[in-house]
Each structure stands twice: as structure tokens, then as C-alpha cells.
Structure 1
Amino acid sequence: MELYEKLLEKKEKLSLIGLGYVGMPIAIAFAKKVDVIGFDVNKEKIELYKSGIDPTKEVGDEAVKATSVRFTADETELQKARFHIVAVPTPVKTDHTPDLTPIEGASVILGRNLSRGSVVVFESTVYPGVTEEVCIPILERESGMNCGVDFKIGYSPERINPGDKVHRLETIKKIVSGMDNETLDTIARVYELVVEAGVHRAESIKVAEAAKVIENSQRDINIAFMNELSIIFNKMNIDTQAVLRAAATKWNFLSFYPGLVGGHCIGVDPYYLTYKAEMFGYHSQIILSGRRINDDMGKYVAENCVKKLIDANKSVKGAKVVILGFTFKENCPDTRNTKIIDIVEELLEYGITPLIADPEADANEAEKLYGIKFIDVESIKDMDAVILAVAHEAFKKYGEEDFNKFYGKGDKVLLDIKGILNRQKYENAGYSYWRL
């Protein structure tokens, strides 16, 4: 009997290794069809899941309470499964080179608990070659088995968009790949159980790996172009948003907007691709140029905040500034790889210690990673400048009266990074308004 049928008949189990913003929705989805073991090394997170709490806010507490996923931090439980999905983060180091520590660690744990006849699918974003050149040797070493004989391997890049309730696992076509046709067929059929949009069978594991890194590299380059336009148009005293609205009336204009590019994909994946390119003696020109522009945008925002303070005849050193929003994207609690920290650090260079408020963010995570403590929005008053940094739905509801409460005497400096406010309205109300 094939592994696919055994999973359906619940004679075999599926494991999910890494229960974060990507892994958790996958585990919940598969648990509606097959028996699922959800493993994570973070014992605190596992206890939250067992208590019916979803710290990622991706699926919600009710879905966690209702699921049949067996949550565990005991790696030996993985021995009970024969279809394994690895969904751990793949960050970059401070020098922008790939940090494969999480995926190597997950491979070690899975390898020493791997059962004969298993299929292992990696979902983590990597450069072409990592699955076969890095992960397989670790699995073989730890398990004492041979890949292709005792277990099979595949790759299916994650496409989950944290905080997005429209583009979800079920609604996004899934790329799948396997080391041979039989493995590819098994992996495709298993994913088809939960992916309503269907699957795309890639020709090879390397093709699937490459497809993932170029998806986000393409987006990164397009945003970098918008950011560069924003810098140019600001020098010309032209509103970038107005220019983009006008240009978008052409049928083939691509709708991208300037902004801070953080998170675990768009700001990271290009470095994986260029790192691999360097191995082959090619130094990226377009990709790395885009990265440099996007990496500098936090500093650019802070500099313009300082300029606005000077224009408003306010003392820069010791100025009272509050930043609304700290997560890497809207309506998501994740603060890892947020570019808002770049604004904070640059303002500190000018003698400004900004206050930060974010009702959506994981406060414990922010304090642990950055040493930052949030304040309540209700406590904001007597500010010289307000930086609206993240387009949370809660912030979108703010009107002029809400912002007026935040300021003290003198001109009201307002930086609307995402351009969610009506510029003319606030300028007519006497605000010193700026946006990308």
C-alpha cells in the first residue's frame, strides 16, 4: 500500500517540524485530512498551542482548540510519522550570508528519528542545492540510512503570506518537487489534499528552490525601484503616491509602492540567490543594488523626520517622537527582521529616543530581540513628531482628532510611511506632512 493511501486511512502519520507562521497553518490544514504530529523545539510555544492559544495569530485560537494536531516538543514522537514536512526559518547573518543553522538543526533532529520508508519535504526558503547538498547528507549521517533507498526527499517552497487572510495555503498554487517521479507523485498527491488551488510539479528540486528565491527577489527589486523614485520625487517636491496613481492608469503598469522591506522573505531571499551566484563567480548587479536601496530606507525615513523637525523650529536633540507600529508588516504580530528598528537606531544617533506603540505586535518578542518596551497608544501626548510606520487596521481607523491628541504645542510633524492618510486633508489642517 502506498504511503499516500496509508496517510488517508490513518495507518501512517504526517509530521510538521517547525510550528511558526508557516508551519502552524500547514499542520492545521493537514490535520483535517490525516493524523498530524506538530513538533517544535520551543516548549513554551508548544504549551501555548496545547492550551488553545495561537501566538502567531495566523489560524486563531479557535482553530488551535479544535484541531487534532498532536503538539509536542519531544523529538522521538517524529518516529511515529513517515511523511515529514520541515518548515523552519532560513535567516541571514549580519554579513548578509545565509544562516542555515535552523534547517541544519531540523535535519539533525529529524535524521536521528527518521523511520525507514519515509518521505521528507523541505519548505524552508533556500538557494538551489541546499536540499540535496546540505540536508540529505545530514539526514543520512544521523539516520544511518541511504537517501533514495531507505527514504526519499522532496522540496515544496512555502508561499504563505503572514497576516494575509486571502492568500492562504489553500488558495495559493503549490510548487512541489521530488528526487524521482514516484516521490514527486506522492508529494503532489499529499499536498493536493489541502491545496485547493492545485500544485505545479517542478522538473527538479533545484528548479523548485530557484523558483522560490526569484519570486521574492523580483518583488524586492520592484519595491527598490519605487523607493528610488520616492527619493528622487521628494527632492523635486513631487508626491510619489500621486505619480504612481497617475501611472497606474496605463494597463500594463505594475502596481508596486515604496516602503520598508523587512520580514523573512523579501528582505532575505535575494541574499540567498546572490550568495549562490558568487559561488559560480558571478557578482549580482541588479539584485544587490535593490537590496542596498531597501536596506537604507529606515535611515532615510529617520533623516526626513529630523529635517521636518528642523523645518518646524523644533529642537532635534531630545525631541519627542513616537512610532506607531513595529512589526515587519501590517496586522501581524511578528517583529523579527522588522525594518522599523533601523528608524529607531538612526533617530538615536540624533539624540532622539522614540517611543513605540504597537497593539498588534508580540511585546515579549520585541523586548527579547531589541530591548524595546511598547507604550499604550492612550498614553501618547505632547509629541513633536508622529511616525505612522505600519498600516495596521487599528491605525487606519485614526482620524484627525485622534492624531491631534498625540501632539504638544507648535507644528505637528507627521510622517506617514505607508501613505494611508489623505495628504491634502492633513496639510490643510496645518500638519507638516511627509510620506515616501
Structure 2
Amino acid sequence: MNNGVVIVGAGHAGVQAAASLREEGYSAPVILLGDEADLPYHKPPLSKTFIKDAEARPQLLRGETFYSGNAIDFRPGVRVARIDVAGRQLDLADGGRLPFDRLILATGSRPRVLPLPGAELAGVVSLRSLADARLIRELSAGASDVVILGGGFIGLEIAATLAAGGRRVTVVEAADRLLGRAVAPGVAAHVRRRLEEAGVRVLTGQTVLRLEGNDGRVVGAVTGSGERLPAQMVVVGVGAAPNVDMAEAAGLATGNGIRVDASMRTSVPEILAIGDAASYRHWFTGQDVRLESVQNATDQARLAARTVLGHSEDYAAVPWFWSDIGDMKLQMVGLTAGGDRNVVSGDPAENRFSIYHYLGDRLLGIESVNRPADHMLGRKMLAAGFSPAPDLVAAGADLKAALAAHQEKTAAE
């Protein structure tokens, strides 16, 4: 009997894997397991449009008829207890068993937990799922003061959204600047200025010692300096941890995620892993990375489907990311860690600029604020292996023409 492919996780990665299997001509069973009751949905809007609009509905990744129309057996509300590698089956939490020929783990990540006194109080929330977003939307309707722990993308997106809705918002970040693991200091400083101008109070180099409650509900946060911040809601946004427990228990190799090769295979070749939970050796940097982005999730899913069908390809997608924080659309392409110089194009004072990051004369990536054309061109340049000279960027040269010339030369050679 052909047991086909079972996909654990119905987020961006899992749904794309199911779709790509059918697009690539896979005809055996495809079973997609999701642990939520809802149809799979887009996650990026949850921290923005969804929480500010009481009437907003989740944006579905695919309509309900897509699954039945493509013979994808989508099973919501299913939790997997264990992977039986030897028996090639899943033990389900309800006692059932599900055999597979190939297994794709798209288990994603979960919010990191702060071991903070008072963290158990009602009104202390994190955002990772639709249920979380619904709770934040409900709580924010009755909150005048909100404290956000963590100055990463999720925390700042929520801060900007709630401040625009009239709440008094304070962001507390333990590091000395915002977005410390995500963008250059210049972009982080710009984001901070714009948020503060919009009414968000930002405290960096600060921690929260405890949360205070009344009748089981949070009413405030006490910082390391002794300041008490009133809060009817506290949002914890201090990063995410990959969901690897099930893979580890099954004996799969892990290390800041489920270890995969260039074709998305784990240490057990019949099992693949993709998306937020997968750790791999990056083709551009030569370093082990785990990327949390929709682009990475969907591109890895497409490749995993081709791997299942017997194609031999290495993952070589150019990574890109985005975040909407207030009136700033941040777009990042490439991986800029390790750069030794940068060039600014555009004017931060106009809230429109890009920072080009280099290692020597090699372009590593571009961070853009409200400059989508720079971002799109950057994706093309990195995919083509083209690094415009830093002095050309500084002079405002026509980089599109320079890329075209590079491509013509490469084709001729």
C-alpha cells in the first residue's frame, strides 16, 4: 500500500509543500496535519491589520476548496505525539497511528518564554498564532497602557499598531538598541526615532524584573531601575525557538533546529524538514543558519517537493525578509553578518533610504526603508552574483543598467 507523504505543520511551509507536490506531479496520497482548528492562514498580518480591526478575518493561504480539489487530505486539530522512524509511522496524540513513505516536518517555532515573576498573570501574551492574535485584539480593546518586552520585529509591529490606535505603549529591550539581531544600527536608530515620534516610549538597556497583578490580572511591570510601568496588557516578544522536540526524540540530528542537507533531507533520508524549524549550511555565507521568513519557508517547501520526486538540487534561494512598522516598510535581502563597510543611498530624513552592506567589495545584502525598488533590484543582483562597486552606489549610479551589463557579459562568456 502506498502511504504517500505526510506533512506535519500547516503553516506557510507545510501548505506550500503540499501544493508543490501536486504541482510537480506527485500522485500518491498527501496528508497535511495542522494542530490548529482553523484553515491555514497568513501570519504576517496578525501583528498589524488583524489586531487593529475588530472585524478583520484571517487571510487564508488557500481557499478550502484548494485542498479537496487537489486531493490534499488536510486534517486540522491533529497533534503528533511521536515519530516512529523504524516503523515509518506517526503516533498521534489521540492514540491513532498514521503511516508514511516520506515525512516532511514543517513544525515551525514557538515564542521564547521569559522566566519572569508574574508571567502567569492574565493579560500577559505572546503572538505566534491566530488564537494569540485574537486574544491580543480582545485585550487591547480594554487596555490604555501596554508594555512590550522585546524590541524585535514582532514587538515593534505591535507597538506601532497599538500606538496608532491610541494606546500608551512602552517597549522594553534588554540590548542597547532595537532590532539588534536583524538590521544595522543605522536602520535601528531610524526605527526608534520614528516610533518615538509616533508616541511609543522606548527603553533600551533595560530589563523587567517582575510583573505585578491584581485579582490575577497584570497591572504593571517593574524595570531593573525600579520604575513601575502601568500595563493592562504585556506582550512578550523576545524571539522564537524552533520546534525540534519531536525530531530530537526520534533521534534526528539537531542543532539550532532540525539539521538538513542542501536538499532538505534530515539525518534520516525519508524525513525532510523545512521552514522555521530547519537548520542548514547556507550556500552564500558557508555558515549554519536557521531563517524565520515566509520566503525561506516557501522556497524550501518547493525544493522539498522536488526532492521527494527524485530531483537532485541544492537550496540556493536568496533570502529576503520584510516588516511593516508604522509608516516604515523595512525590506532586507541577503545576510549581512560579517560585513565590514556599508554605503547609504537615499535620505533617512525623508524616511526613504537603503543601506548596502559589503565585505570588501562583495555585496552581502541591502536593508531598505520605503525603497522597494532597491530591494527588488538587490534580489536580482544577489541572485546573479553581481556586486556593484561601493563608489557606484554612493554616486547614485544606474545599478539596473550595471546589472544588465554584468548579465550580458556573463552570458557572452
TM-score by length of 2: 0.28
Larger strand fraction of residues: 2
Larger helix fraction of residues: 1
Structure label with greater radius of gyration: 1
Greater relative CO, 1 or 2 (CA 8 Å, sep 6+): 2
